Amino acid sequence: MSTDTGSGRSLSLGSPMRWIEDLSDAQFAYLLLAPGLIVFGVVAFWPLFRTFTMSLHADVLYGPERLGAFVGLQNYVELLTGQRNAALPRPFLDLSEPLTSAVTVTIIFTVVSVFFETLLGFGQALVLDQDFTGRRWARVAIILPWAVPIVIQGMIFYLLFQPTVGFLVEPLHQLGLISATPQASSFDSLLIVIVADVWKTSAFMALIILAGLQSIDRSLYDVADVSGASKFERFRTITLPLVLPSVLVAMLFRTIGAMRVYGLIDTVSSCSTVPSLSCLVVQSFSASRYASAATVAFVTAGLIAIVVSVYIIKFADVDGGGGF
């Protein structure tokens, strides 16, 4: 009865109001979300769109203009075929020198760091999922690196690997793991940057995976116990499949972060020694090659999009299309 009264009242209102009243719940929800979505859309897509339009122009090095004539996709063609390498601080992609070309360095960094972060993060999460005295302190200890500001962490690792300052160079050099001047070598520096990243972000992985572990229904383990499953079987048949979606989400976030790594490289090493894709963007930008910078930035965004879609497809498989 009350609904009748309601619709009767709405007749006396103006038509936009009546239109709102007539919406279904789902439609009304979208209506309320619309302003937020528009803002997000503008914030997220406008820069991407601007970057793309900038990348369609020529670089201009003289005069007050920042962008030159419209050249279509020429920047992309030159970048991908290697003709633009001369104007970049390090080659975009040069398979003959994988340790100093941006795409390969970025991929190596991403794959190695995300692999070890997942492994360590998973291990940490399994430990934290147990009940033991002092668990709270163990949590603090594990999460602490995540709280260290990137510049300070960068300084720590930079100094650790300065010969005559850091204590690590000499023993690691004696062991034959790194050279006497690690920050002058691209291989050693990449290694150091990866170690620094793993040190910092394993905690992030641990947190997300821990959340997944804690949402597992404990009674499943009771069932496993009753059916006499070994510890490994418990892990393989219950823990792993149920926690996998969380692991994938954590890996997805870390992969996106790793593919646009810049700050850590800039503080621990240098963009010249360990050139990531973002390094190329920043360096071309400061050399006033705005169009080149935009091109590399857009290609980087594209690469990230490809990797993300791989994860999303994989995630759909695991989760039966649940989305996140």
Partner 1 sequence: MPRADHGSTGSPTASRRRVLRTVGATGAAGIGLAGCVGRGETGPRTVEVAANTDVKDNLDEIQSKLYEAGLSQDIELDVIAGSASTGARKQQYNRWLSANLETPSLFMMDSGWTIPFIVRDQVANISELRPKLAKDVQEGVFDTFVQSLESRNGDLYGIPLFPTTGSMLYRKDLVKEAGYAPDEEGWATSPLSWKKFSEVTKKTREKTDTQYGYTFQADAYEGLSCCDFKEFTATWGGSYFGARENLFGPVNDRPVTVDSEPVVKATRMVRTFIDGDASNALDSVTGDISPRAVLQWSEEPSRKPFSNGNAVMHRNWPYAVAINGAEDVFGEELGLMPIPYGVKEEDAKFDGYGGSMSSLGGWHICLNPNSPNQEMALEIMEAMTDEDFQLFLFEKLGWLPPRPELFESDRAKEVPVMGRYLKTLKQTVENSVPRPVTVAWPQQSTKIAQKANASFGGEASPKQNMKTLQQQLERIEEASARETEGGQ
Give dist(CA 277, CA 301) in Å, integer.
10
Please provide residue 57's backbone torsions phi and psi, each rounded to the nearest 5 degrees.
Answer: -110, 170
Q: Shortest distance, CB of residue 124 to partner 1, whole angstroms?
A: 33
Alpha-carbon separation of residue 137 from 50, 83, 123, 141 (angstroms): 47, 55, 17, 6
CA distance 198 to 116: 7
183 touching partner 1, by CB under 8 A: yes
164 contributes a contact to partner 1 by CB under 8 A: yes
How many Cβ atoms are within 10 Å of 184's Cβ, its own excluded?
12
Q: Which stretch binds partner 1 (CB under 8 A): 62-70, 209-217, 225-233, 254-262?
A: 62-70
The residue range among 123-131, 191-199, 278-286, 310-318 that interacts with partner 1, by the rule CB under 8 A, is 278-286
Tokens of 267: 């503080």
Question: 3-state DSSP call for residue 309?
Answer: helix
Is 98 a residue that touches partner 1 (CB under 8 A)? no
Decide: is 11 part of the binding site for partner 1 (CB under 8 A): no
Among 14, 63, 176, 323, interactor with partner 1 by CB under 8 A: 63
Structure token pair of residue 190: 């990449």
Q: Which residue among 65, 97, 222, 233 contacts partner 1 (CB under 8 A)?
A: 65
Alpha carbons 223 and 245: distance in angstroms, whole number: 22
Site residues (CB under 8 A) for partner 1, limited to 197-236:
none
Residue number, 87 or 93, with CB nearest to partner 1: 87
Nearest approach in angstroms of CB 50 to partner 1 is: 14
How many residues at the interface with partner 1, by CB under 8 A? 49
Binding of partner 1 by 273 (CB under 8 A): yes
Residue from 14, 15, 25, 167 in contact with partner 1 (CB under 8 A): 25
- The answer to the question of residue 272 lying near partner 1 (CB under 8 A) is yes
Binding of partner 1 at residue 87 (CB under 8 A)? yes
Is the Cβ of residue 29 or residue 144 nearer to partner 1 in the bound state? 29
Please report whether residue 66 would count as binding partner 1 according to CB under 8 A. Answer: yes
Minimum distance from CB of 97 to partner 1 (Å)? 11
Query: For residues 28 and 115, which CB has a smaller minimum distance to partner 1 in the complex?
Result: 28
Q: Does 152 bind partner 1 (CB under 8 A)?
A: no
> What is the spatial distance between Cα 6 and Cα 32, in angstroms, rounded to a whole number?
21
Q: From the CB of 321, what's the least distance to partner 1, in Å?
A: 26
Contact flag: residue 237 with partner 1 (CB under 8 A): no
Q: Give the whole-angstrom CA distance, residue 242 versus residue 193.
A: 32
Determine contact, residues 257/84, Cβ cutoff 8 Å.
no
CB of 3 to partner 1, least distance (A): 5
SS3 content of the chain, % helix, strand, coil (to 5): 70, 0, 25
The length of the chain, given as a count of residues? 324
CA angle 210, 215, 216 (to 5 degrees): 105
Query: Cα 192 to chain center, whole Å?
Result: 19
User: CB within 8 A of 249, min separation 6: which ones?
Assistant: 208, 315, 324
Q: Which residues bind partner 1 (CB under 8 A)?
A: 2-3, 6-7, 9-10, 17, 20-21, 25, 28, 32, 57-69, 71, 86-90, 162-165, 180-185, 270, 272-273, 283, 285-288
